[in-house]
Chains A and B, each alone.
Chain A
Amino acid sequence: GIQVEQSPPDLILQEGANSTLRCNFSDSVNNLQWFHQNPWGQLINLFYIPSGTKQNGRLSATTVATERYSLLYISSSQTTDSGVYFCAVSTIYNQGGKLIFGQGTELSVKP
């Protein structure tokens, strides 16, 4: 099955710094989502981005489907950005809504 790898596994930043999180996947995808898991465990949707570039405030994401990777950019980080960021994908071989998750990047933003 498809493999999803996220890097780095951990990241510590000072407030105000910028960061780039990476998601590599081993097969063609038709669904790619980025999530932020808050301290209470809920997965918050950030982007639905199987290809192309999107921006939402201080966050932006780019997926280069032909090269099988996606990047999540966080600019001017804030302490509230702390948490785990997950990339999840689905392929044409999946029936229905099965998402395959990466292992996540744990981000800690220090004041």
Chain B
Amino acid sequence: KAGVTQTPRYLIKTRGQQVTLSCSPISGHRSVSWYQQTPGQGLQFLFEYFSETQRNKGNFPGRFSGRQFSNSRSEMNVSTLELGDSALYLCASRLVAGLAGNTETQYFGPGTRLLVL
């Protein structure tokens, strides 16, 4: 099976712009989670989508939003970009088999490096 894919891989934006990142999960996986990685804060959970619904959300401002489509692909949007939004954005997918809850392996994509100037 193909792994988790993310597009684009690199992105340069200026302050005030908005950006949309895309994530395609492993075939058959129904959950997609997004994480932000910065040198200062490390890896932080943004949100998770399952069955086109946001299931869980981290401590990020409302400028960060996402959605999931019926084919489980997910997009993340950041509006009114700030310099501090420069980061590696990673998405992860997992199967969600029945009532397994969060006791499943998550698989990560290669990430999108966003630079805000």
Chain A residues in the interface with B (C-beta under 8 A) = 30-31, 33, 35, 40-45, 48, 50, 86, 88, 90, 94-104
In the complex where A42-B109, A43-B90, A98-B48 touch, is A103 in contact with B102 (Cβ < 8 A)? no
User: Are the CB atoms of A33 and B31 closer together than 8 Å?
Assistant: no
User: Are the CB atoms of B102 and A94 closer together than 8 Å?
Assistant: yes
User: Are the CB atoms of A30 and B102 closer together than 8 Å?
Assistant: yes
10 residue pairs of the A-B complex, CB under 8 angstroms, read A42-B110, A45-B105, A45-B107, A48-B105, A86-B43, A90-B103, A96-B31, A96-B33, A97-B104, A98-B102
Residues of A within 8 Å of B88, CB to CB, are: 41
Closest to B111 in A: A41
What is the CA–CA distance of A104 and B109 in the complex, to the nearest angstrom? 18
User: Are the CB atoms of B42 and A97 closer together than 8 Å?
Assistant: no
Residues of B within 8 Å of A97, CB to CB, are: 31, 33, 48, 55-56, 92, 94, 96, 102, 104, 106
Residues of B within 8 Å of A43, CB to CB, are: 90, 92, 108
Which of A31, A42, A44 contacts B102 (CB under 8 A)? A31
Which of B33, B35, B103 contacts A31 (CB under 8 A)? B103
Residues of B within 8 Å of A86, CB to CB, are: 43
Residues of A within 8 Å of B35, CB to CB, are: 99, 101
User: Are the CB atoms of B45 and A100 closer together than 8 Å?
Assistant: yes
What is the CA–CA distance of A40 and B109 in the complex, to the nearest angstrom? 11
Residues of B within 8 Å of A45, CB to CB, are: 105-108
User: Are the CB atoms of A98 and B56 closer together than 8 Å?
Assistant: yes
Q: Quote the shortest CB–CB distance from A9 to chain B (angstroms).
A: 12
